[in-house]
Amino acid sequence: MDILHAIATRRSIGQFLDRAVPPEALRQLLEAALQAPNHRMTQPVRFRVLGPAARHGYGAALGARKAKKLADPAAARAVIDKTSAAEVAVPAAIAVSVVLDPNPEIREEDYATALMGVQNLMLAAVALGLGTRLRTGAIMDDPHARAALEVPDGERIVGIVQVGHPASTPDAKPRRSVDEVTRWLA
Ligand SMILES: Cc1cc2nc3c(=O)[nH]c(=O)nc-3n(C[C@H](O)[C@H](O)[C@H](O)COP(=O)(O)O)c2cc1C
C-alpha cells in the first residue's frame, strides 16, 4: 500500500471485530515500530504484547479508577468487571514503554522516538488491513496497572495500542489546513 494512502485512511478505531490478530502480523507491526528514527540510537523502547491475564489485570486497574467515587461496593465491582472484560475482549493490545534515561534531554528524545514508533506501527497496521487505537492517560502511572503490565521502576509506559480488524471506520476528523498553520519564511 502507498504510504500516503495509509496516512490518509488511518483512523483511531473504537470497535473491533471479534477476530484474532495473528502473532506474525503483530510481529510485523513491532518491526515497523522499531524502524522509527532514534536520536543517539538509545533504543529505549520496550513492548509488551498483552495476553488475557495481563489485559484483565490492567482492565481491573482501569476499572478501579473509574469506580473510585462509587460508594456502593456492588456497583464498584460491576464497573471493574465490565472494564476488565472490555480490555480482555480487544483482539490485541501492545503496551509501549521507554526506559527512562537520567538525562532529561535524552528522556524527551526517547519519548519522541517511542511515539514515532507508534505511528509507524499504526500505519503498518493499515497496510495489513488492521486498525489501531492509542490509549494513554493517568492510568499509565497507576501502580496496579504497571504491576499488571510488569513494568519495572525506571520505565515509563507511553501508551497502549489496541489492534484488531475494524468493526467500522470513522470519518476523518477535520484538521486545520496547511495554510492556516504554516508560514513560509524568507
Ligand atoms: C498522544 C496521544 C494520546 C492519545 N490517547 C488516547 C486515549 O487515551 N484514548 C483514545 O481513545 N484515543 C487517544 N488518542 C487518539 C486521538 O484521540 C485521535 O488520534 C484523535 O481523536 C484523532 O482521530 P484519528 O486518530 O482517527 O485521526 C491519542 C492520540 C495521541 C496522539
The domain tally of the chain equals 1
Ligand 1 pocket test target in 12, 123, 173 with most atoms within 8 Å of CB: 12
> Which atom, in ligand 1's list, is nearest to the CA of 170?
26
pLDDT tens-digit readout, 30-64: 999 999 999 999 999 999 999 999 999 999 999 99
| 184 located within any domain | no
- What's the average model confidence in pLDDT over 81-105? 98
Q: Going along 26-154, which residue ranges are E strands? A: 45-49, 92-99, 131-135
- What's the average model confidence in pLDDT over 116-137? 98
Distance CA 118, CA 99 (A): 16
How many angstroms separate the alpha carbon of residue 45 from the centre of ligand 1?
A: 20
| 183 located within any domain | no
The boundaries of the domain holding residue 16 are 3-50+91-170
- The CATH number of the domain holding residue 163 is 3.40.109.10
| 45 located within any domain | yes
Residue type, position 146, single letter: R
| 175 located within any domain | no
Which cell goes with 54? 495481563
Percentage of residues in the chain with pLDDT exceeding 90? 99
What pLDDT, on the 0 to 100 scale, is given for residue 1? 73
What pLDDT, on the 0 to 100 scale, is given for residue 183? 98
| 78 located within any domain | no
| 185 located within any domain | no
| 156 located within any domain | yes
How many angstroms separate the alpha carbon of residue 7 from the centre of ligand 1?
A: 15
pTM to 2 decimals?
0.97
> Which residues are near ligand 1 (CB < 6 Å)?
11-12, 133-137, 173
| 143 located within any domain | yes
Q: Going along the chain, which residue ranges are E strands? A: 45-49, 92-99, 131-135, 155-164
What pLDDT, on the 0 to 100 scale, is given for residue 128? 98
